[in-house]
Amino acid sequence: MQQINISTDITVFNTHNELSGPDHQLVDAAIEACANAYAPYSAFHVGAAVLLANGEIITGTNQENAAYPSGLCAERVAIFYANSKYPKVAVKAIAIAAKNEDGLIPNPVAPCGACRQVMLETELRFKSNFYTLLIGKEQVYKIEKVKDLLPLCFTGEELKSKK
Ligand code: THU
């Protein structure tokens, strides 16, 4: 028997002011986007800001539905829109923020599993790793590549014929 340990490096910024200028701008874009969420069922307003290789920032918000599973998370709205508008432009970074009735949530918000899988596909598609900024009220976590957020990931390699 054997044990394998998988670890993830996270850079922790203890205040938003510790961020670099471009990261601060992306974080602010995600926070601002929360105002555009459509979240009448959860009252959890999520904003995602995607930085593209062409310098453009695309934002997305969660879009809920009375038939709950028909809704979509902010991260996927932002990534799918960015990839639809610029199918040949790689993603460089994504920042994610969430607000409830008390404002920005205290702890850095983490993307759900389905969003992580879509983020992974985006890295693989453009053959380009990108970093993620998880935003809390005070702290921001920076994770260098999506595979760090999704260990033991399903990449699709397994679908290819071995013949
Ligand atoms: N949600 C996101 O948009 N992103 C996340 O990372 C977590 C959850 C949304 C889905 C749903 O509209 C609401 O937040 C509550 O789960």
- Per run of 10 residues, the mean pLDDT along the chain (length 163 residues) is 95 98 98 98 98 98 98 98 98 98 97 98 98 98 97 91 66
Q: How far apart are CA 91 and CA 143, in angstroms?
A: 14
Measured by CA distance, the residue closest to atom 1 of ligand 1 is 73
Distance of CA 64 to the CA centre of its chain: 18
pLDDT of residue 163: 62
Is residue 20 packed enough to be buried (19+ CB in 10 Å), middle (13-18) or exposed (0-12)?
exposed
| Distance in Å, CA 88 to ligand 1 centroid | 27
pTM: 0.96
For a pocket test of ligand 1, which of 42, 100, 101, 107 has the largest count of ligand atoms closer than 8 A to its C-beta? 42
pLDDT of residue 162: 65
Structure tokens at 20: 């670099």
State if residue 62 touches ligand 1 by the CB under 6 angstroms criterion. yes
pLDDT of residue 158: 85
Q: How far apart are CA 155 and CA 64, in angstroms?
A: 28
Q: How many CB atoms lie within 10 A of CB 114?
A: 12
Structural domains in the chain, CATH included, are 11-156 (3.40.140.10)
Place of tokens 């969430």: 98
